[in-house]
């Protein structure tokens, strides 16, 4: 019975006694003798009732007190002997009670009166909110469970909040979890880069010996790391590796497989290189395989000789120190050209554009491709931001000499106004969405929907994870090519032209090749010279092209000034421009090229200011991979974007001063050299 019910029972009992006395008083008017007799009897019964009632109340209170004491004793004894550590704290976190297990397993010294935060690194507010927290101690791992209660003091109206914490040992569960993670296997795909190309001129006996060495290398590598591997094509392998082994390989940057592959020489100048894709994090083997396939495609898009790990939407890259080898086969180009012609024929017109601040390669390849499409009898135009381009000499030459009835170059407004869902947009010399010359044109072409959009790109730059064009209907991506102009020239050769394109278009394409190869010094292969020979054959004039590279007197002074500011740091020449100047971007790239001629310099960098921060132009002849260094800057700060080729790259550092950008660059150079030294030592 509750307190209110007990008080009501006593009130009714008193009313019953009073009612009996009232009845006796009423009888007094009829018979006084009987009234007194009844009054005496009622009084005696009432007194007896009240005495018995009072005694019963005392007995009940005594029974309840004894039961409460016995219960408290039982609970206290049970908690004291409870095998899990437990304690009670007040609102301030002060320990007011703890059991024997707490002393044995958590804190062996006297804990009374101490604050729980001094003994255990926990957030009480978070713990009380979540009532569940995993905490690690020297003796094991525990999950802390909290239970709070408030006690009211009827005398002063103050409530006290006490919290009991008990510690659940989850060491065994965590051990099982760690084993599950460590032993979980992921799909690993391995591909030998350009095997058929590399072995094309080898003897049959040498081919067998080389493939046997590669097979043994990969099989031993997988066996050493507790995995399984199967060869599913001449140049491809399918393997399974555990998560713990992959983490171990990440720590050593996969040098144990990439560097050992380099020791196998196909010929005097061509070591074996591998591309490896790992799909990590998939909930099923099928998902892991799909991630591994995407990772392998990304390594190919970045030039091979590296490892890509895809976990969810994120990529991690290791290796990529070599430049790779040129492919002599043009099968991919021929297939692409056939598909491109079909798209051109089903389009109302074609729009070609390159990257921001278009150079001779971007504008030259766009103009050359548009000219070839016009020669096929279809409408084609080029968009280039004429207010921010490095190719005005080429643009002016084309405008002055082409005998086309319609101007080759269109404005952004005209391009947007004439675009329809049947317009074919071809992007050249970039695969980065952020670097496209007009994001507005690209967005409109993308807005027509997956079933109707017509976007194509042709590029030779290495891909970056998450920032590349992903909605192209078809694409031609060759990281081994010297330039976009070289790739466009190969495409044009497969066009069914009744007569060659105008010589001015050939000049435009040749200027792009000469720019990116530094006049046929870097990144040149057999296909580069074949493309140049074809352009020369159809009328390209090397002298006229060379004149496009002439610079003003102020440009020469600025370039020389930049070179004089350079300092050499770990075989890297680093120069800094102190203020924003016209054409500083061109001067920076030219100065970077010139600094490679300094004895003992393997790479060159020029840092120059922009309206949004700073930019870096990077060059090398292959001894150092400047693309890796530029991408390393991007990993250091989300305000940095960068990439390019092993021998030609750049970075944009938003909100960075040139001095801050230079310091970040020097730190990344130190990191790159340290990793390279460790690789050689290993």
How confident is the model over 605-652, as pLDDT tens digits? 999 998 889 999 999 887 888 888 988 888 888 888 877 777 888 899
> Tokens 């009084």 sit at which residue?
43
Q: How far apart are CA 217 and CA 334, in angstroms?
A: 35
Q: What are the C-alpha distances in Å from 207 to residues 50, 203, 219, 237, 319? A: 115, 6, 18, 18, 26
Kindly tell me if the per-residue pLDDT of 356 is higher than 80: yes
Element (H, E) at 665: helix 658-681
CATH of domain 331-547: 3.90.1640.10
Question: What are the start-end ranges of the H helices in 275-330?
Answer: 285-301
Residue 572: both structure tokens together: 């890297």
User: What pLDDT score was predicted for residue 251?
Assistant: 84
Look at the domain 82-177 and name its fold.
Beta-Lactamase (3.30.450)
Q: So where are the chain's domains?
A: 3-77, 82-177, 184-319, 331-547, 553-681
Provide the sign of the torsion angle of the four alpha carbons 353, 358, 360, 430, taken in this order: negative
pLDDT at residue 13, rounded to an integer: 67
Calpha distance 128→163 (Å, rounded): 9
Average pLDDT, whole number, for the chain? 82
Measured in whole angstroms, the distance separating CA 672 from the mean position of its chain's CA atoms is 20
Residue with tokens 């760690």: 178
Neighbouring CB atoms inside 10 A of 300's CB total 18
- In the chain, what's the furthest Cα-to-Cα distance? 152
The pLDDT-based confidence of 524 (bands split at 50, 70, 90) is confident
Work out the percent of the chain whose per-residue pLDDT is above 90. Answer: 31
Instruction: Establish how many alpha carbons lie within 13 A of residue 553's alpha carbon, considering only the half-sphere containing its beta carbon.
Output: 0
CA–CA dist 250, 248 (Å, integer): 5
pLDDT at 438: 93
CATH fold group of domain 184-319: Alpha-Beta Plaits (3.30.70)
SS3 326: coil
pLDDT average, residue stretch 420-436: 91
Domain 553-681 matching CATH 3.10.310.30: the answer reads yes
For 656, the token pair is: 């960075």
24, 35 in Cβ contact below 8 A?
yes
Q: How far is CA 233 from the centre of its chain?
A: 31
Is the pTM above the cut of 0.85? no
pLDDT class of 41 with cuts at 50, 70, 90: confident
């Amino acid at each position: 019975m509750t307190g209110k019910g007990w008080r009501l029972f006593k009130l009714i009992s008193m009313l019953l006694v009073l009612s009996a006395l009232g009845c006796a008083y009423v009888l007094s008017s009829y018979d006084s003798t009987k009234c007194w007799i009844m009054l005496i009897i009622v009084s005696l019964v009432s007194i007896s009732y009240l005495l018995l009632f009072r005694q019963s109340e005392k007995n009940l209170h005594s029974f309840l007190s004894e039961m409460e004491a016995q219960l408290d004793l039982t609970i206290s004894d049970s908690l004291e002997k409870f095998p899990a550590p437990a304690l009670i704290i007040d609102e301030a976190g002060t320990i007011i009670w703890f059991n024997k297990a707490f002393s044995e397993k958590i804190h062996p010294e006297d804990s009374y009166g101490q604050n729980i935060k001094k003994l255990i690194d926990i957030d009480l507010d978070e713990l009380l909110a979540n009532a569940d927290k995993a905490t690690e101690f020297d003796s094991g791992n525990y999950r802390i469970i909290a239970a709070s209660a408030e006690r009211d003091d009827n005398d002063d109206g103050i409530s006290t909040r006490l919290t009991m914490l008990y510690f659940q040992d989850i060491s065994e569960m965590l051990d099982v979890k760690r084993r599950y993670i460590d032993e979980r296997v992921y799909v690993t795909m391995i591909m030998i880069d350009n095997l058929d190309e590399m072995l094309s001129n080898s003897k049959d006996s040498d081919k067998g010996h080389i493939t046997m060495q590669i097979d043994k290398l990969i099989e031993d590598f997988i066996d050493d790391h507790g995995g399984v591997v199967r060869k599913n094509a001449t140049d491809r392998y399918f393997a399974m590796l555990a998560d713990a082994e992959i983490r171990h390989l990440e720590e050593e940057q996969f040098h144990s497989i990439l560097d050992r592959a380099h020791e196998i020489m196909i010929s005097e100048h061509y070591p074996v290189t591998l591309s490896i894709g790992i799909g990590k994090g998939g909930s099923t083997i099928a998902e892991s395989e799909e991630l591994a396939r995407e990772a392998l495609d990304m390594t190919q898009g970045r030039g091979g000789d590296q490892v890509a790990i895809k976990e969810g939407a994120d990529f991690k890259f290791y290796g990529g120190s070599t430049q790779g080898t040129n492919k002599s086969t043009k099968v991919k180009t021929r297939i692409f050209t056939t598909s491109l012609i079909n798209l051109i024929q089903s389009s109302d017109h074609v729009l070609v554009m390159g990257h921001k601040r278009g150079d001779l390669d971007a504008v030259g390849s766009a103009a050359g491709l548009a000219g070839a499409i016009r020669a096929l009898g279809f409408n084609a135009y080029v968009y280039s931001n004429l207010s921010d381009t490095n190719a005005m000499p080429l643009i002016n030459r084309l405008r002055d000499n082409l005998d086309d009835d319609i101007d080759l170059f269109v404005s952004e407004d005209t391009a947007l106004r004439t675009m329809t869902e049947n317009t074919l947009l071809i992007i050249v010399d970039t695969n980065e969405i952020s670097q496209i010359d007009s994001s507005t044109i690209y967005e409109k072409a993308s807005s027509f929907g997956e079933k109707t959009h017509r976007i194509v790109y042709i590029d030779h730059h290495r891909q970056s994870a998450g920032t590349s064009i992903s909605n192209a209907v078809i694409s031609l991506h060759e990281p081994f090519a010297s330039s976009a102009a070289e790739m466009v020239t190969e495409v044009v050769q497969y066009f069914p032209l009744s007569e060659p394109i105008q010589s001015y278009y050939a000049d435009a394409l040749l200027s792009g090749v000469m720019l990116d190869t530094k006049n046929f010094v870097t990144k040149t292969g057999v296909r580069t010279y074949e493309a140049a020979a074809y352009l020369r054959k159809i009328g390209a004039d090397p002298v006229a092209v060379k004149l496009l590279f002439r610079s003003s007197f102020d440009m020469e002074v600025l370039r020389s000034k930049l070179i004089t500011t350079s300092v050499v740091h770990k075989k890297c020449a680093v120069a800094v421009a102190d203020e924003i100047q016209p054409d500083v971007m061109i001067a920076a790239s030219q100065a970077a090229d010139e600094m490679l001629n300094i004895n003992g310099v393997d790479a060159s960098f020029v840092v120059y200011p922009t309206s949004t921060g700073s930019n870096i132009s990077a060059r090398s002849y292959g001894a150092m991979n400047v693309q890796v260094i530029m991408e390393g800057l991007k990993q250091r700060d989300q305000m940095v974007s960068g990439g390019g080729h092993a021998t030609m790259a750049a970075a944009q550092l938003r909100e960075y001063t040139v001095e801050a950008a230079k310091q970040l660059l020097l730190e990344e150079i130190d990191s790159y050299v340290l990793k390279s030294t460790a690789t050689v030592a290993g």
